[in-house]
């Protein structure tokens, strides 16, 4: 089966296409739910590593996993007894159905997450999910403010990748290169694509800093960057 990681149901698609996508996502959730604990811990360890974290970094903390889908990190943290993880995803059908995984929250950050109180979260993580994948700048602005609302003073958000789609969408050459399969790119095109990706990462970091945020860019999983946003006040 084709693995779907971050695909949303597109607006305007016909009902049959929406059902096809939903069925694939539900099938993937069932597959993940059936994995043994040791496999879940292995997957969660890699996901945290992409963000420069370990399970020790979750210990005794309240954590929001944004775009959590199958709730892998929450399940692993429950198994290991490290921290309290709230798994947020806008798709109820993507969340785990296992009875021990109890902290799933159905919410779209573009509309706010009222289930999470102000100044209550030590750490927010997003691995390949929102706000980076949101296509409208005003919705990204709102989402960043919502993240800051939830974080305690001294808390932090870690976003992987540090690569905002609303910025990438403005680069016509990058969109052209994305139309090609990776195996069909020439060596020059591969270099060009990587250079453009690096520029988009830099612009994404600059966007956050221009909002007055304390942000640090670091290299994470798959060689891509992640951003650390500190809430100081």
Supply the pTM of this predicted model: 0.89
To which H or E segment does residue 189 belong?
A: helix 187-210
The pLDDT > 90 percentage for the chain reads: 86
Q: How far is residue 138's CA from residue 178's CA, in Å, rounded to a whole number? A: 25
Q: How far is residue 76's CA from residue 98's CA, in Å, rounded to a whole number? A: 12
Please state the domain extents for the chain: 36-230
pLDDT digits (tens, 9 = 90+) for 196-207: 999 999 999 999
Q: Cα dist. 105→46, 59, 115 in Å?
A: 23, 21, 8
pLDDT digits (tens, 9 = 90+) for 1-59: 333 333 444 455 577 888 888 999 999 999 999 999 999 999 999 999 999 999 999 99
Q: Which of 166, 176, 229 is nearest to 200 (CA)?
A: 166
User: Domain 36-230 adopts which CATH fold?
Assistant: Rossmann fold (3.40.50)
Q: Cα dist. 230→33, 74, 88 in Å?
A: 33, 22, 20
pLDDT digits (tens, 9 = 90+) for 95-108: 999 999 999 999 99
C-alpha dihedral sign at 224, 178, 170, 149: negative
């Amino acid at each position: 089966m084709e693995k779907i990681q971050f695909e949303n149901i597109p607006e305007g698609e016909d009902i049959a296409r929406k059902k096809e996508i939903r069925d694939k996502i539900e099938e993937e959730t069932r597959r993940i739910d059936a994995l043994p604990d040791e496999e879940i811990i292995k997957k969660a360890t890699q996901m945290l590593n992409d963000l420069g974290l370990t399970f020790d970094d979750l210990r005794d903390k309240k954590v929001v996993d944004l775009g959590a889908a199958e709730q892998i990190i929450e399940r692993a943290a429950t198994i290991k007894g490290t921290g309290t993880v709230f798994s947020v995803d806008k798709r109820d059908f993507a969340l785990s159905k296992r009875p021990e995984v109890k902290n799933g929250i159905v919410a779209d950050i573009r509309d706010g997450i009222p289930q999470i109180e102000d100044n209550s979260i030590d750490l927010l993580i997003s691995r390949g999910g929102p706000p980076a994948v949101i296509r409208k700048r005003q919705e990204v602005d709102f989402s960043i403010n919502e993240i800051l609302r939830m974080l305690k003073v001294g808390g932090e958000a870690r976003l992987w990748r540090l690569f905002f789609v609303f910025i990438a969408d403005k680069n016509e050459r990058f969109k052209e290169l994305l139309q090609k399969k990776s195996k069909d790119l020439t060596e020059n095109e591969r270099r060009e694509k990587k250079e453009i990706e690096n520029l988009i990462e830099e612009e994404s970091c600059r966007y956050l800093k221009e909002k007055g945020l304390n942000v640090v860019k670091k290299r994470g999983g798959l060689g891509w960057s992640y951003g650390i946003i500190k809430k100081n006040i």
